Chain A
């Protein structure tokens, strides 16, 4: 059946018809604040259901895909799809669950190309893989980052990782030179090139640099601003 602009149809009716087509796979619809949610029992069928939603039910616009970490529950992951149809102006939400051991479901990139970046983001943030995705790489975090930061067991303060922040960066040509700011110093004054003595600057990269005499006079040996650790 086709849903054109002239066809006044509600998302509740669409959900009922979707249920008629897919039977027990689809449960719901649940309505809350005027929004209709259906649940898909088997995440492996997501691509089929999405293709049907686009082709038969007029949902030509995939608004968003997001994921929820139900930490401590089984199945751990919920994937949430939001659809919209420009023809009938209806919204629909579809949810499906994936277990932690599996952490994988089929991609819908062949149905809507906008799914590409949404799925990459979910993989990046929660570590759920999309089978058949053409280019499943990290998108917001850098390549090689070892954690999935939006999981509930990842602390808000973050975790340190071995890898440099940007995988492809190399030292700039001037790094370690006498007039170059040292990255990662204790404070801005420690990073400031003018407080350092160029002769001892070989230690600059480890931040163990000697304090210039006039600054030592002004601030003392250990107190106040300036390079900090004593030379070993």
Chain B
């Protein structure tokens, strides 16, 4: 008589449960990886604490503040003009654009933003757009560098070098420009600058084409960026993204178009926006924005009017030095302007400008006098980074560099 054996056939649901247990053992424990604050892909001092399941990110907690200098506190303790150099150090890849945004905010509070001479407004637009080209060139170069295309970085840096030469002859400094003043500019364009700028614009568009041949249809680049870091339109708005990161997610919005400041309403330009919201779209938006910036600067150089660059009010802008030394009234204005600062009326305003990284806003609360009572800097990089804990989970570790690169943030601005 054959031996009888019991065979256990577990229920399907029990089988699934035990398989899941086995899988859990195979996957093992989750690992915590500390990325940054000194990591080349974090573009400065961003730290991200990652929880990993193998190579998949399950949790990401960005940790910011390593570059916090207390700019808002500092602003409460100095005159409006004295704060201009601090704005250089917000988004230090586009200091000229920060200078312009800050000056416009204070001028809005004083109610003189519509009285700026046309030449000043055109020069400011040129500054903003050159700063945008400079910031996007670096952002794009560093993005490509992070995901392995080193040539692009070297290539875009050649053009940035020319830009820095232009900035130097314009402002006297290559990096920390401090070019604007409340009610005007620190100086007019130097002789021959317009021609130099035109020459640069002719050269830089060739560079854009070459950069695109490196990247736009590069299989490695598209594989690493398409479908990676997808931000839906709803998420982009909900998380308050601005600038190219918002436009990459299919939102056709640009402060220069929706609320034109300076002379943007007199200039022709297109606002590029993406459709899928992935890293590749953000790259495409940036490269098109640079072409549009070239278009804007060309129009400004063509239309550039003559005349003064400062508002004709000695209570706002410093009088000419030779008159300060010979005339009593100018001496008094100079003295009051320097020691007490421009007299700003009590009130509160918010001004947001379309900067390379997004909407740089200044909320100024004044009780009158030469110093703000409270100044809040709404920095685009800070807000843009807040989406990371939502966006990164589900991606591979190697996608982080692509996502961070495509977001193009600056920690100087994020941490203030």
Does A91 count as interface, using CB distance less than 8 angstroms?
yes
Tell whether, in the assembled complex, residue A68 and residue B365 are in contact, meaning their CB atoms are under 8 Å apart. yes
Interface size on A (CB < 8 Å)?
35
Tell whether, in the assembled complex, residue B70 and residue A149 are in contact, meaning their CB atoms are under 8 Å apart. yes
CB distance from A229 to the nearest CB of B (A): 31
Does B268 count as interface, using CB distance less than 8 angstroms?
no
Does B164 count as interface, using CB distance less than 8 angstroms?
no
Tell whether, in the assembled complex, residue B363 and residue A82 are in contact, meaning their CB atoms are under 8 Å apart. yes
Q: For residue A154, which residues in chain B have a CB less than 8 angstroms away from its CB? A: 73
Contacting A93 at CB < 8 Å: which of B108, B239, B258, B350?
Answer: B350
Residue of B nearest to A80 (CB): B363
Q: For residue B295, which residues in chain A have a CB less than 8 angstroms away from its CB? A: none
Does A16 count as interface, using CB distance less than 8 angstroms?
no
Contacting A66 at CB < 8 Å: which of B253, B373, B376?
Answer: B376
Tell whether, in the assembled complex, residue B73 and residue A66 are in contact, meaning their CB atoms are under 8 Å apart. no
CB distance from B239 to the nearest CB of A (A): 5
Q: For residue B363, which residues in chain A have a CB less than 8 angstroms away from its CB? A: 64, 66, 80, 82
Does A3 count as interface, using CB distance less than 8 angstroms?
no
Tell whether, in the assembled complex, residue A140 and residue B350 are in contact, meaning their CB atoms are under 8 Å apart. no
Within 8 A of B (CB), among A100-133: 112-114, 116-118, 121, 125
Does A37 count as interface, using CB distance less than 8 angstroms?
yes
Within 8 A of B (CB), among A153-169: 154, 156
Does A139 count as interface, using CB distance less than 8 angstroms?
yes
Does B68 count as interface, using CB distance less than 8 angstroms?
yes
Does A63 count as interface, using CB distance less than 8 angstroms?
yes
Contacting B64 at CB < 8 Å: which of A68, A82, A93, A140?
Answer: A140
Tell whether, in the assembled complex, residue B374 and residue A66 are in contact, meaning their CB atoms are under 8 Å apart. yes
Q: For residue B365, which residues in chain A have a CB less than 8 angstroms away from its CB? A: 68, 80
Tell whether, in the assembled complex, residue B237 and residue A86 are in contact, meaning their CB atoms are under 8 Å apart. yes
Tell whether, in the assembled complex, residue B349 and residue A64 are in contact, meaning their CB atoms are under 8 Å apart. no
Using known A-B contacts A86-B251, A142-B65, A149-B70, determine if residue A113 contacts B350 with beta carbons closer than 8 Å. no
Does A44 count as interface, using CB distance less than 8 angstroms?
no
Tell whether, in the assembled complex, residue B386 and residue A117 are in contact, meaning their CB atoms are under 8 Å apart. yes
Does A232 count as interface, using CB distance less than 8 angstroms?
no
CB distance from B215 to the nearest CB of A (A): 30
Does B111 count as interface, using CB distance less than 8 angstroms?
yes
Q: For residue A140, which residues in chain B have a CB less than 8 angstroms away from its CB? A: 64-65, 68, 415-416
Tell whether, in the assembled complex, residue B65 and residue A33 are in contact, meaning their CB atoms are under 8 Å apart. no
Tell whether, in the assembled complex, residue A113 and residue B390 are in contact, meaning their CB atoms are under 8 Å apart. yes
CB distance from A103 to the nearest CB of B (A): 17
**C-alpha spacing A37/B65, complex, angstroms:** 31
CB distance from A4 to the nearest CB of B (A): 15
**C-alpha spacing A126/B322, complex, angstroms:** 46
**C-alpha spacing A141/B401, complex, angstroms:** 26
Does B359 count as interface, using CB distance less than 8 angstroms?
yes
Using known A-B contacts A66-B363, A140-B64, A156-B73, determine if residue A32 contacts B347 with beta carbons closer than 8 Å. yes
Interface 1/0 per residue, A31-69 and B, CB below 8 Å: 011010100000000000000000000001111101011
Contacting A32 at CB < 8 Å: which of B239, B253, B348, B376?
Answer: B348
Does B382 count as interface, using CB distance less than 8 angstroms?
yes
Tell whether, in the assembled complex, residue B240 and residue A141 are in contact, meaning their CB atoms are under 8 Å apart. no
Residue of A nearest to B382 (CB): A117
Tell whether, in the assembled complex, residue B383 and residue A114 are in contact, meaning their CB atoms are under 8 Å apart. yes
**C-alpha spacing A86/B258, complex, angstroms:** 10
**C-alpha spacing A140/B66, complex, angstroms:** 7
Does B216 count as interface, using CB distance less than 8 angstroms?
no
Within 8 A of A (CB), among B344-394: 347-350, 352, 359, 361, 363, 365, 373-374, 376, 378, 382-383, 385-386, 390
Tell whether, in the assembled complex, residue A33 and residue B352 are in contact, meaning their CB atoms are under 8 Å apart. no
Q: For residue A91, which residues in chain B have a CB less than 8 angstroms away from its CB? A: 350
CB distance from B45 to the nearest CB of A (A): 11
Using known A-B contacts A63-B352, A64-B378, determine if residue A141 contacts B238 with beta carbons closer than 8 Å. no
**C-alpha spacing A13/B350, complex, angstroms:** 20
Within 8 A of A (CB), among B203-250: 237-240
**C-alpha spacing A113/B109, complex, angstroms:** 30
Does A189 count as interface, using CB distance less than 8 angstroms?
no
**C-alpha spacing A140/B45, complex, angstroms:** 12
**C-alpha spacing A19/B109, complex, angstroms:** 26
Q: For residue A35, which residues in chain B have a CB less than 8 angstroms away from its CB? A: 349-350
**C-alpha spacing A141/B67, complex, angstroms:** 10
Q: For residue B53, which residues in chain A have a CB less than 8 angstroms away from its CB? A: none
Q: For residue A125, which residues in chain B have a CB less than 8 angstroms away from its CB? A: 72
Contacting B111 at CB < 8 Å: which of A33, A82, A93?
Answer: A33
Tell whether, in the assembled complex, residue A89 and residue B361 are in contact, meaning their CB atoms are under 8 Å apart. no
Q: For residue B347, which residues in chain A have a CB less than 8 angstroms away from its CB? A: 32-33
22 A/B residue pairs, CB under 8 Å, sorted by A: A33-B111, A60-B237, A63-B361, A64-B350, A64-B361, A64-B378, A69-B374, A82-B350, A82-B363, A86-B251, A93-B348, A112-B240, A113-B239, A114-B383, A117-B382, A117-B385, A140-B65, A141-B65, A149-B70, A150-B72, A150-B73, A154-B73
- Across the A-B interface, give the 4 residue pairs with the lowest CB-CB distance, nearest first: A114-B240, A66-B376, A140-B65, A117-B386
Instruction: Given A66-B378, A86-B251, A156-B74, output 13 extra A-B contacts at Cβ < 8 Å.
Output: A37-B348, A61-B240, A66-B374, A69-B374, A80-B348, A80-B363, A82-B361, A89-B259, A91-B350, A114-B238, A114-B383, A149-B73, A156-B77
